[in-house]
Structure 1
Amino acid sequence: MHRTKSERLRDDLIGEAVLLILKDNGPINFKTLAVKLKIMASMERDAERRSALSAAAVEVEQKVKSSSRVHPEARKNCLINSMHHLMVNTAQHKYDKKH
């Protein structure tokens, strides 16, 4: 996959924001991520990083808006189905070791 330098920087900064939220024992969701990215952008001195942080915040906010349009019951069912798949997936890969 060919990603531009600014896309890679934006992804790295999103990861950095998630790590900071985890360090503060905060909840990981799109809203807290958008807030953290905005805070980071407001404190950033480097213009390139500040621009990438702002772009990342906009991207995350768009995700919040698009996910809020989904009916809450459909969102709940999607989450349950995803979690069920994770919990019942007992297939073991050939090279996995149990110790």
Structure 2
Amino acid sequence: MTRFEDKRLTDIVLGEAILALLSEGDPITPYSLIEKLQLMAVLEKMAFRKQACTSAIIEVRSSLMAQSSEYGSFQPGNEYPSGSKMIH
């Protein structure tokens, strides 16, 4: 697969994880998303989709780390960094 195809599949499994959380009525937080992606990776039989789940997990974790350094203290279980404003 090309880098573009890998990125596209990563985006697809990320979207699938979000849709699964929505359909289950679960909150969508970085932590719930990581947990869902981990479960998807464990249950996945196709190696390339399993790798896409792993890539998506890395992407979400990287985003968390970037937020943490941008906003200061960002603790697990706290969905929003201190000082952030929820729009809805």
Q: Where on the TM-score scale, by shorter chain, does this alignment land: which range?
A: 0.7 to 0.9
- Could you say which residue in structure 1 is the equivalent of 2:85? 79
Q: Does residue 1:33 correspond to 2:33, yes or no? A: yes
Structure 1 residue 17 displacement after superposition: 0.2
| Distance in 1 between residues matched to 2:22 and 2:59, nearest whole Å | 20
Unaligned runs of 5+ residues in structure 1 are 87-99
TM normalised by structure 1 equals 0.68
TM normalised by structure 2 equals 0.76
Cα-to-partner distance string for 1:7-62 (whole Å, 9 max, x where unaligned): 11110110000000011111111111111111100110000000011010111011
Structure 1 residue 71 displacement after superposition: 3.0
How many residues are matched? 78
Identity of aligned residues (%): 31
Letter in 1 for 2:44: E
For 1:17-96, what aligned pairs fall within 5 Å after superposition? 17-69=17-69, 70-71=71-72, 75=81, 77-79=83-85, 83=87
| Distance in 2 between residues matched to 1:58 and 1:42, nearest whole Å | 15
Letter in 2 for 1:79: K
Q: Compare CA radii of gyration and give the structure with the larger one.
A: 1
CA RMSD between the two structures: 2.0
Unaligned runs of 5+ residues in structure 2 are 74-80
Contact map agreement 1:31 1:64 (CA 8 A) in 2: no
Structure 1 residue 77 displacement after superposition: 4.8
